[in-house]
Amino acid sequence: MTPGRPPRHRLDGPAGAPVVVLGPSLGTSMDLWLPQLPALTRTWRVLRYDLPGHGNQPPPDGPFTVEDLADGITRLLDDLGVDRAAYAGVSLGGAVGTALALRAPDRVAALVLCCTSPRFGGPGPWRERAALVRREGVGPVADTAAGRWFTPSFTGADPYVAMLRATDPEGYAACCDALAEFDATERLAEISAPTLVIAGAQDMPTPPDGHARRLAAGIPDARLTIIDGAGHLANVEKPGPVTGAITEHLDRTRKETGP
């Protein structure tokens, strides 16, 4: 995979409907969004993609940045003949949406940032995780993923941990390196897309304080929804409230601004 190349993707929903792009999190595939697919495909053309080395995407052939991933989405929209699209992303997928809204504001009709951040902490821990995975594979991070991603009471973690176990180690490590360098904190005020920020109240990797609240405070007129009882993959753990918040935001902004 070359930085900026359009990712492998899948389209679902009615042809001719407005497009919403769904971005996955580090260690998961496009199937992270299966809980939202039935509701979204009723009125939207849903475009899902995989991160480098994740799902059906080949491993990268060199380093890349979050901005490179955003450029890949722009090229994918170009290839599909889509001028403007809504975008929703979880964690790293949300960071890609933030970068996309900054780099190609005319292409983003609406933005949903779920369990994500303008800066995922300092680079040191990400570099260490990348080195661990390059040395030992994804097993060590997969063994602890359920505890990072979900609350202790959640019983449906296995399919999502399996996505991580199937991820190419270099693809995972390169995404960690991209997260280490990502920092949009000082540019949030430049985002013009109507934005909804969703947080899991029990999200440990990106707790609402310092992450979701910072996004919502920095992006002009952004709305913030905190989902109680949800960890980092809130769209999986609490699909009803998250799906409802996303569809309400997308439908409302579509009526206000057009597709």
CATH of the domain at 210: 3.40.50.1820
Residue 3 domain-assigned (yes or no): no
Whole-number pLDDT of residue 182: 98
Residue 2 domain-assigned (yes or no): no
97-119 pLDDT per residue, tens: 999 999 999 999 999 999 999 99
Structure pTM?
0.96
Residue 199 domain-assigned (yes or no): yes
Whole-number pLDDT of residue 256: 80
Residue 1 domain-assigned (yes or no): no
Whole-number pLDDT of residue 6: 86
CB 57 within 8 A of CB 15: no
CA distance 235 to 159: 14
- The residues of the chain scoring below 50 in pLDDT are 1
10 Å CB burial of residue 74 (0-12, 13-18, 19+) is middle
Phi, psi of 184 (to 5 degrees): -105, 10
Residue 152 domain-assigned (yes or no): yes
Whole-number pLDDT of residue 56: 86
Whole-number pLDDT of residue 216: 98
DSSP H/E element including 182: none
CA distance 3 to 176: 15
Any idea what DSSP says for residue 50? -
Whole-number pLDDT of residue 1: 47
Residue 116 domain boundaries: 9-257
Q: Provide the number of structural domains found in the chain.
A: 1
